Amino acid sequence: MRPLTRAAAFAVGAVAGCLADARFADPRRGHPVAVFGSAATRLERRIWRDDRATGAAYTALCVGTVAAGAVVLDRTVGRRPLGRAALAAAATWTVLGGTSLTREARTIGRSLAAGDLQAARERLPHLCGRDPSALDEQQIARAVVESVAENTADAVVNALAWGALAGPPGLLAFRAVNTLDAMVGHRSPRYARFGWASARLDDVAGWPGARLTALLTVAAAPEPRTAWRVWRRDGSSHPSPNAGQAESAFAGAVGVRLGGTLHYGERVEHRPVLGAELRPVAVDDIERACTLSRRVGALAVGTTVAGHVLLRAILSRRGKA
């Protein structure tokens, strides 16, 4: 039997990692991303300064350490096909969050369906950073659908896209970038300057995957024409260069109106409405968004694995030329 090529080993490992995420989701304790977050928090406490230069150094150190470690691991197992596949599987499982995402969303959806608004409010911070204290049923449902859309891009498609481009180091480096953005990239007095580099790096890293998410959402939508129309019209109206791509496509695919006023504690944001002609979000739309997210994730696995194999074949041919 011929040994697996590097591309085939990554493909096998990536599929295995996706299946592991579908079966086991994220562990409650000891998740590598949580370990990284704890280490990054300790470093932030030691070096924090209210300036961009320190924040940029912090971002470079955190992401660079993960990327360098992943490259060393990749090269260490590079000559062993089973080792390459195992590393790809472990890295893929580590960075994916699609199953945990939809589980959290469905938990909130069940609370809303049962009429337990307080339970839904208590659970919402597990999914997004909005202040749930004054949100009604419809507003919580909208927050959940928007979070499912945005995190389908960040926690599934973007990670796989970077895996297609750079293998396990791409997977792990992207997760480090995205985690730092969630930690320090938001607009607050403490992180306005210190988190600037993390936020901008996440914008750059998320650019290709956000657009791939929108395309795959259109492909998976019950009404592809509506999803395409809303995405192309409203995708760039969002203040984030990436979040609006996925959210607008999901709005059209689910057939609901997203965006508007958001509350983050004392901070209030008035965002453009996505799919203004569509109906408001209802509780049942949470399940529709979760189903759509899983379909998009499945398409992303096939697309990115095929893309990785094709890219490696092109690079191999060029190397022989």
Neighbour-count burial of 274, counting CB atoms closer than 10 A to its CB (0-12 exposed, 13-18 middle, 19+ buried): buried
CA-closest candidate to residue 188, choices 287, 275, 264, 299: 264
* DSSP 8-class letter at 2: P
Instruction: Give the pair of three-digit tokens for residue 173.
Output: 């480096």
- Residue-wise pLDDT tens for the chain (321 aa)? 455 688 889 999 999 999 999 998 888 777 899 999 999 999 999 999 999 999 999 999 999 999 999 999 999 987 788 899 999 999 999 999 999 999 999 999 999 999 999 999 999 998 987 888 888 999 999 999 999 999 999 999 999 999 999 999 999 999 999 999 999 988 788 999 999 999 999 999 999 999 999 999 999 999 999 999 999 999 999 888 899 999 999 999 999 999 877 655 556 667 889 999 999 999 999 999 999 999 999 999 999 999 999 988 888 777 655
Backbone angles phi, psi at 256, to 5 degrees: -130, 165
> Three-class SS string for 11-26?
HHHHHHHHHHHHHHCC
Give the angle 6-217-296 at the CA atoms, nearest 5°: 45
- Predicted structure pTM score: 0.92
